[in-house]
Amino acid sequence: MPKPLDNDKLTFPILIGDIGGTNARFSILIDAYAEPKQFPSVHTADFSTLDEAIQITVLDKTSVQPRSALLAIAGPIEGDEIPLTNCDWVVRPRAMIADLGFAEVMVVNDFEAQALAVASLSDEDRAPIGNNNHSPVASRVVLGPGTGLGVAGLVHAQHTWFPVPGEGGHVDIGPRSERDFAIFPHLTPIEGRISAEQLLCGRGIVNIYTAVCLADGVEPKFTIPADITATGLSAADAQAAETISLFVTYLGRLAGDLALIFMARGGVFLSGGISQKIIPALQRPEFRQAFEDKAPHTALMKTIPTFVVTHPLAALSGLAAYARTPASFGLATEGRRWRR
Ligand SMILES: Nc1ncnc2c1ncn2[C@@H]1O[C@H](COP(=O)(O)OP(=O)(O)OP(=O)(O)O)[C@@H](O)[C@H]1O
């Protein structure tokens, strides 16, 4: 078993990496004060292993030899061989230490990294949804529709940020309005239920659109999420337009539920690839209406801000924030930190 370590500093220079299902992004943090040295983002499919991607895209391109690596990955972190969700790579920290010259490797969950990022996002790196652009220093939530639906809480207590990565994308979601009751019977349950991720991700956009078409007795025209949002945003197609409206409504409902669970007075932050692409739809009334529609707590919900994270490399910025000042974060390291 890996040896548990305290939340002490990783040794600089630190390679930080955000390994998604489709893309991997790397940078090097020379010390606690320097801006990260950014490397071009790469497609995971272009390299057979993570180690090869690090060697070719980072180590071969710089004379700086990182002493530590801090990686965010999509998927649960268990044991010494960590397979990635949606990609063939396996993270092998012990082999990275042996072969790539690192003294230490630490691996965290990708939404934990997103949560670390929203602890300190500047105004330029977020777009408010609604009238409130103030985020007090208080607990927050990150909710990210992309290939899947990621969720993490960020609890603020004792002057410390505690990321809470969970599987919140898999909570149940059910019909509420009369129109929902007409559409939901056309969704395909998985093992008897509809989870939030079945509606609130790229595939979910297609699921909603198809169910709307079936409810209307119309042949579906689109199978690609980006086509549905593009057509829906321009209102060129009634079913695609309704899909966008329902998508932001359901996202607002879930965002509100999560804000209630975490008492997230610091706000709910929408990350992931889709949120940034549909900001105009999120700024229409439906998202905030659904978010605030939480009687008997409507007055409370009106005070909670909501944002789209617009930072292009939010997970990397979260990892860099942790690498600089680990003591500001209550990040669990047990079983996730390996050293030579
Ligand atoms: N304009 C768009 N509107 C709606 N959905 C989109 C749009 N563009 C891409 N998508 C969908 O977003 C999903 C990809 O999300 P994202 O960009 O967050 O990638 P990821 O694989 O989750 O993360 P990573 O880039 O880290 O690998 C896919 O399902 C894709 O079809």
Which domain CATH number covers 227?
Answer: 3.40.367.20
Statement: residue 24 has pLDDT above 60:
yes
**CA 17–ligand 1 middle distance (angstroms):** 19
CB-side neighbour CA atoms (13 Å) of 328: 15
For the Cβ of 22 lying below 6 angstroms from any atom of ligand 1, the answer is yes
pLDDT 10s digits, 104-134:
999 999 999 999 999 989 999 999 999 999 9
- Indicate if 105 and 163 belong to the same structural domain: no
d(CA 207, CA 254): 17
Q: Give the pLDDT of residue 207.
A: 98
Q: Within this chain, do residues 43 and 126 fall inside the same structural domain, yes or no?
A: no
Can you give the pLDDT at residue 87?
85
Give yes or no for residue 5 having a pLDDT over 50. Answer: no
Residue 166, in any domain of the structure: yes
Please report the sign of the dihedral spanned by the C-alpha atoms of residue 5, residue 12, residue 23, residue 168. positive
Query: ipTM, 2 decimals?
Result: 0.95
Q: pLDDT digit string (tens) for 244-298?
A: 999 999 999 999 999 999 999 999 999 988 999 999 999 999 999 999 999 999 9
Listed in sequence order, the residues at least 6 apart from 301 whose beta carbon sits closer than 8 Å to its beta carbon are: 256, 259, 260, 291, 292, 293, 294
How remote is the CA of residue 230 from the centroid of ligand 1, in Å?
Answer: 14
Q: What is the pTM of this model?
A: 0.94
Is the beta carbon of 145 within 6 A of some atom in ligand 1?
no
Residue 263: domain span: 122-310
Any domain includes 5: no
Nearest alpha-carbon partner for 184 in 217, 208, 206? 208
Tell me how far apart the alpha carbons of residues 272 and 206 are, in angstroms, rounded to a whole number: 17
Q: E strands of the chain, at which residues?
A: 14-19, 23-29, 37-38, 42-43, 68-73, 82-83, 90-91, 104-109, 126-129, 140-145, 149-157, 160-165, 267-270, 306-309, 337-339
The verdict on residue 115 lying in a domain is no
Judge whether 101 is annotated as a binding position.
no
Indicate the pLDDT class of residue 42, thresholds 50, 70 and 90.
Answer: very high
Tokens of 91: 């993270």
The set of residues, in sequence order, having a beta carbon less than 8 Å from that of 82 and lying 6+ positions away, is 73, 75, 90, 91, 92, 93, 107
Per the structure, how many domains does the chain have? 2
Q: Are residues 26 and 128 in the same domain?
A: no
What's the average model confidence in pLDDT over 25-30? 97
Give mean pLDDT, residues 315-329: 95
pLDDT, mean of residues 188-196: 97
The answer, yes or no, to whether residue 52 has pLDDT greater than 50, is: yes
Nearest atom within ligand 1 for CA of residue 21: 27
Task: Say whether 20 counts as a known binding-site residue.
Answer: yes
The pLDDT confidence band at residue 149, using thresholds 50, 70 and 90, is very high
Q: Which atom of ligand 1 is nearest to the CA of 19?
A: 26
211 in a structural domain: yes
- Is the distance from the beta carbon of residue 233 to the nearest atom of ligand 1 less than 6 Å? no
Measured CA distances, 292 to 128, 249, 266, 296, 304 (Å): 15, 11, 15, 10, 9
Whether residue 157 is found in the same domain as residue 56: no
Burial class (CB in 10 A: 0-12, 13-18, 19+), 209: buried
pLDDT at 76 over 90: no
Report percent pLDDT > 70 for the chain.
98
Average pLDDT, the chain: 94
What φ, ψ does residue 278 adopt, rounded to 5°? -120, 30
Q: Does 280 reside within a domain?
A: yes
| 51 annotated as belonging to a binding site for a ligand | no
Regarding whether 18 and 150 lie in a shared domain, the answer is: no
pLDDT for 7 equals 56
Q: Please report, for the domain that includes residue 81, its CATH number.
A: 3.30.420.40
Do 193 and 305 reside in the same domain of the chain? yes
CA distances, 193 to each of 189, 240, 258 (Å): 5, 24, 20
Whether 2 has a pLDDT exceeding 60, the answer reads: no
Same domain, 146 and 273: yes
Note whether 147 and 243 are same-domain residues. Answer: yes
